Structure 1
Amino acid sequence: MIPAKKSRAFDYFFDHFNKRFLKFHFRGVFFSKGADATIPASPCLFIVNHSTWWDALAVFHLNRHVIMQESFVMMHEKGIREYPFFRKIGAFSVNRENPKDIVLSLQYAKERLKENKTLWLFPQGDERHQEIRPLGFLPGALHIVKNTNIPIVPVLLYYSFGRERKPDIHIRVCGPVTADDLPGTSSKDKNVALEELFTTHLERLKQDVIMENTRDFKNLL
């Protein structure tokens, strides 16, 4: 397991680079909160769908300019080895092919939450096309918050082309839930319920984007 190696100085300068980088490639990063959404204070767990290489940069930008909490993000080991700078902005690794590494990564995540930090997780594990259903959530999120009342906050990412040359990123933060809020008696049942809840929110965002029902979105660029 490769731990994070956070650097406040790098975080500051990377924010300026990342904003310009996103602005060069996208028309906008558009943000809204769901009708029932509140952003909890740390510790909390944000879960995000994972469909493109851009997701980590969109999440970093969202945290810097909206969430504004000291955050850590679990990433696949391959991604961190290819882009080690992610460690400086809070990324730590997980290698799902190594059971011992999985245990270490989950323990590292729990320790960050115990320190009142915020954790970001891509529960699909790997990148999957944004239109693929089912989303295929792995059980890590519920394992991390097991026997706690730490809120789980769904964060939806949807990429689209409109009438402009550049594409858009739409982000919606939805209302928090806890493991106890989810139906089911087993972790497996609760994971299925969490995926179904997330899918419902994501389909609603998709339809809002398609129908151009986006008046409540604010451009973060």
Structure 2
Amino acid sequence: MIKAKKDQIFSRAFHLYNTYWLLKRSFSTIYLKGSFNQDSSALVLVNHSSWWDGLVTFYLTETICPFDSYAMMSEEGMKKFPFFRRIGAFSVNAASSRSVIETLHYSTNLLANQKAVWMFPQGAEQPLEKRPLEFQSGSAYLSLKVPSTPVYIVTYYYTMSHEQKPRLYIEISSPIDPADLSNQTRQDVTTMLETKMTHQLEQQRTSIATSSLSGYSELLSGNRSVSDWFGFLSGSKK
């Protein structure tokens, strides 16, 4: 596996590039609901439906997270973009059981040393509306291996609205009570975590479809787009 090799100066520079050149130029607005507690470590499980997920995750780790974060990504992706290890990414090769075991041990050590580990438990990018989510068992392994670590469900929901650029809605769950995970098999925990994420995504979809967005606040506003300028010139926007 490829281990993370964090570089604070590089991370700060990449955060500025990611925020002002990538995200603000590509999204109309990014909204957030929920927050992390002031824990020193966490296991954060995120759905994976877009190329943007890794960059959004890094943005969150640099802006709203109270802990030192690391993220699991595919070995193929790490080899294509090796700079990701400098912002806290480490690799997993799902095709190799030895690699998976090594990565899980590495993740366990990070959690035991009061770090946060972000992971995509689906294991690969899937369409946003695909059901079931088909969790791999790695997230359950980690939650059982370090039972004192809070587990959060984070869901990204991308949608097109009245603007040229998409909107992104992010929801952070309350931490899962470790008691909910005790005395259960890895398969039971995998099923429970998948069910919780599925339910959260379904609630998000309903809230967005019905414009019932109480609890969401603006996290990042994008730059003006073509649709904004058209609205401005037509007098419908100021």
Q: Please give the TM-score of this superposition, normalised by the length of structure 2.
A: 0.87
Indicate if the aligned counterparts of 1:26 and 1:169 stay in contact, CA closer than 8 A.
yes
Cα pair 1:149 1:178 within 8 Å, conserved: no
Instruction: Quote the Cα distance in structure 1 between the aligned partners of 2:23 and 2:8.
Output: 21
2:119 to 110, 118, 121: 121
How many correspondences in the alignment? Answer: 218
**Aligned Cα RMSD in Å?**
1.5
Tell me what 2:23 maps to: 22
Residue 60 (structure 1) shift: 1.1
Give 1:7-156 correspondences, 5 Å limit.
7-20=7-20, 21-33=22-34, 38-147=36-145, 148-156=147-155
Q: Secondary structure at the match of 1:96?
A: coil
What is aligned with 1:191?
190
* Partner deviation per Cα, 1:51-70 (whole Å, 9 max, x = no partner): 01100111111121111421
> CA offset at residue 178 of structure 1?
4.2
Distance in 1 of aligned mates of 2:139 and 2:115: 15
Within 1, Cα distance between the matches of 2:113 and 2:201?
31
Alpha-carbon displacement from aligned partner over 1:85-144 (angstroms, at most 9, x marks no partner)? 111110000001111111110011011111111110100010000100000110101111
CA shift for structure 1 position 39? 2.4
For residues 177 and 53 of structure 1, what CA distance do their matches in structure 2 show? Answer: 27
Compare CA radii of gyration and give the structure with the larger one.
2
Alpha-carbon separation, structure 2, partners of 1:193 and 1:131: 19
Q: CA deviation at 1:185?
A: 3.0
Task: State the one-letter code of the partner of 1:15.
Answer: H
Give the secondary-structure state (helix, strand or coil) at the position aligned to 1:220: strand
Aligned residue type for 1:174: S
SS of the residue aligned with 2:19?
helix
SS at match of 1:58: helix
AA matched with 1:203: E
Distance 2:159 2:12 in 1: 29
Please give the alpha-carbon distance, in whole angstroms, between the structure 2 residues aligned to 1:208 and 1:102.
37
Paired residue secondary structure (1:52) = coil
- Residue 216 of structure 1 deviates from its aligned partner by 2.7
Match of residue 176 from structure 1: 175
Matches within 5 A, 1:157-176: 157-176=156-175
TM-score by length of 1: 0.94
Structure 1: which 5+ runs fail to align? none
Q: Alpha-carbon deviation of 1:10?
A: 0.7
- SS class of match (2:43): strand
Q: Is the deviation greater in 115-124 or in 40-49? A: 40-49
Q: 3-state SS of the aligned residue for 2:168?
A: strand
> Which stretch shifts more, 53-62 or 173-182?
173-182
- Look up the match of 2:236: none
* Contact in 2 for aligned 1:113/1:119 (Cα 8 Å): yes
Q: Which amino acid aligns with 2:3?
A: P
Q: Is 1:205 the counterpart of 2:204 in the alignment?
A: yes
The DSSP-based 3-state class of the residue aligned with 2:64 is: helix
Deviations 1:9-34 (A, max 9, x none): 0111111101111010110111111x
Q: What secondary structure sits across from 1:67 in the alignment?
A: coil
| Structure 2: segments with no counterpart, 5+ residues | 221-238
